[in-house]
Structure 1
């Protein structure tokens, strides 16, 4: 909790963390209107999956050039420009008149999302090195908190919203204004030059951290899938008729993620990284069982359990990868983070394909089975370490 107090006490740290929250406020608001977009365009779950896949492809494409562009512009300016452009671009998917234009708008939004994500994480990393502080985990907690704010507030007002574009535009306006006002606390920050080391990718690098990459892909893929598909699941499978209540699946998931990330570091220091990963996956599996019950109450509880279970796994994977033998810390963390990003962006698209081929319930069953695979991988890692 010390990092939370640090963030709340100084604008120098709160300003970049608000970008983390802002990006997920926008996404959390957008996901509430996916069912309306689906209905307006008269498309099915498979088409939605294709559109979300375009979002993933856009993000992956941006990864290829974002680092060089951020270095050229400066990490502070890149973070501000990124969140402004991202907020504006998410005005277009909601008004897209066809599936093709929906796919194009989400592809461009995905590019902006990845660029902003890389910039804001680099910014926090620079601040941590400059000031010798540690608040990266808490910054990611604010990312989850952003989802709570976006989907939570949106769920409460969505019943009165006649024109979704007005809602999205209002959220974008608030985010742009607040980030512009706060940006003076970080806009001048640039990447400090570092001694270059060999970081070229090789298949040999995967061997010592292969299990970690599997867990990262599954956990982040599940997080992205739950973010995009939770409301449709509650409406179409569970049968929640109240639109505002259906949006609370993602709210509960994000709230649980936020709480877990604020307290996870202390728990990890007591029981260790491997145990917290194993226990977290067990909790998530129980959560999926509750979600698959089709009961309204149990499903909502299940979203919370999955959020708690997954909340601290990614930070712990980074910690373990940084200490893995056979790779440098930067190599280990970058590969595990990269696989997690691929999972986060591709997960919703895979869910859509499964839903189109089988059913949305089957898609969630697949997520539960994947969590079981991650649990087995974590157990094998733990036993090997012992």
Structure 2
């Protein structure tokens, strides 16, 4: 199945992935500006980002219920909420208020994230084809493009509020086309199986390793290039942009790879590649070498999270698919809760180079988890 065919089949959730990628790419490139605007050091800024992670994880618990209530319009509502939420932190200079503003962003992003991943998993079940990597590639591509555009906006002195508003206007224009019917699957007659807690936790931990690493680079790569390596604003924005572009390439390639190789093989190879990239970024003497590191990391980490989310949709009963993806996402996206705070603390104590070396260790932990996940029996597809 070609990448273009996969994207056409899942074009509506793919558009939602683009929206989420645009906003987070914009945020990543604006991190040095927002950090200075708040007057926070590394440890404090990392702690402030707990706001977005708290909102994200909390909303994911509620997402299955919200999905049932909103039905076909769930993605439309999620896009509108996210577009409005990002207008708040862009103009905040008080740290405590910034935490609450980012919690609103996280809540909107969390609901949309669960819904769009559930729609992709449902389409995978209907078509019998892997689609998750192609959709996550659209997030990465949008993330990279937004980071580059934001870098130019920073060089031109455009305030964050106007850039976020511009991406918001674009996103709202997509809303009329985002209505998508939902197929609700009832439990089979006589179903008496246990709740699939172990598969959810195991797949969630795989996603956690990937997303913690991804969140770390998203939030701190621009600062590493600008502060540690002496780069300018546009050079700093190229850090997250390089991550996004290579993650997009990796996920588009992963769409084809996932049809030819076992998930276990892909995760093991990908974690080794990503860990190598983290080491290169940590030890880089110049921004150019750091870009190579971020790019290598992005190429490897790109497929780990989508495989974890796709796998949980395969190993749980069909009627529990949306709930299982939600719970798996809660575990995985809690990486956005831990990563910024831990990165900030490590950076404050030892510097960003040591912090990125810690990321390489984190990435290698995906391998033993994948070995365990490979033993999970897959359910019949519906």
What TM-score does the superposition give when structure 1 sets the normalisation length? 0.85
Q: 1:199 to 1:58 in 2, by over 3 A?
A: farther
1:312: Cα distance to partner? 1.5
1:91: Cα distance to partner? 1.0
1:163-202 equivalences under 5 Å are 163-177=159-173, 179-183=174-178, 186-187=179-180, 189-195=181-187
Distance (whole Å) between structure 2 residues aligned to residue 323 and residue 23 of structure 1: 25
Of 342, 348, 351, 2:343 maps to: 351
Q: 1:200 to 1:361 in 2, by over 3 A?
A: farther
Q: How many residues align?
A: 371
Distance (whole Å) between structure 2 residues aligned to residue 378 and residue 127 of structure 1: 24
Equivalence for 2:213: 222
Q: Per-residue displacement from partner, 1:135-174 (whole Å, max 9, x unpaired)? A: 3331111111110121122223320033221222122112
Q: Per-residue displacement from partner, 1:233-254 (whole Å, max 9, x unpaired)? A: 11122221x2111111111111
1:195-274 equivalences under 5 Å are 195=187, 205-206=197-198, 212-240=203-231, 242-274=232-264
1:290: Cα distance to partner? 0.8
Name the SS of the counterpart of 2:212 in structure 1: helix
Q: Per-residue displacement from partner, 1:286-309 (whole Å, max 9, x unpaired)? A: 111110113222210011111111
Equivalence for 2:5: 5
Q: 1:79 to 1:333 in 2, by over 3 A?
A: closer
Q: 1:72 to 1:360 in 2, by over 3 A?
A: same
Say if 2:30 is the partner of 1:39. no
Distance (whole Å) between structure 2 residues aligned to residue 228 and residue 97 of structure 1: 18
Q: 1:130 to 1:247 in 2, by over 3 A?
A: same
Alignment RMSD, CA only? 3.0
1:48: Cα distance to partner? 1.2
Distance (whole Å) between structure 2 residues aligned to residue 195 and residue 380 of structure 1: 27
Distance (whole Å) between structure 1 residues aligned to residue 111 and residue 343 of structure 2: 24
Q: 1:96 to 1:157 in 2, by over 3 A?
A: closer
Distance (whole Å) between structure 1 residues aligned to residue 220 and residue 123 of structure 2: 35
Say if 2:294 is the partner of 1:303. yes
Equivalence for 1:91: 87
Equivalence for 2:57: 60
| Structure 2: gaps of 5 or more residues | 376-382
Distance (whole Å) between structure 2 residues aligned to residue 209 and residue 41 of structure 1: 38
1:230: Cα distance to partner? 1.3
Distance (whole Å) between structure 2 residues aligned to residue 365 and residue 145 of structure 1: 26
Distance (whole Å) between structure 2 residues aligned to residue 277 and residue 271 of structure 1: 10
Determine if contact 2:133/2:307 at 8 Å carries over to the other structure.
no
1:366: Cα distance to partner? 1.3
Determine if contact 2:153/2:163 at 8 Å carries over to the other structure.
no
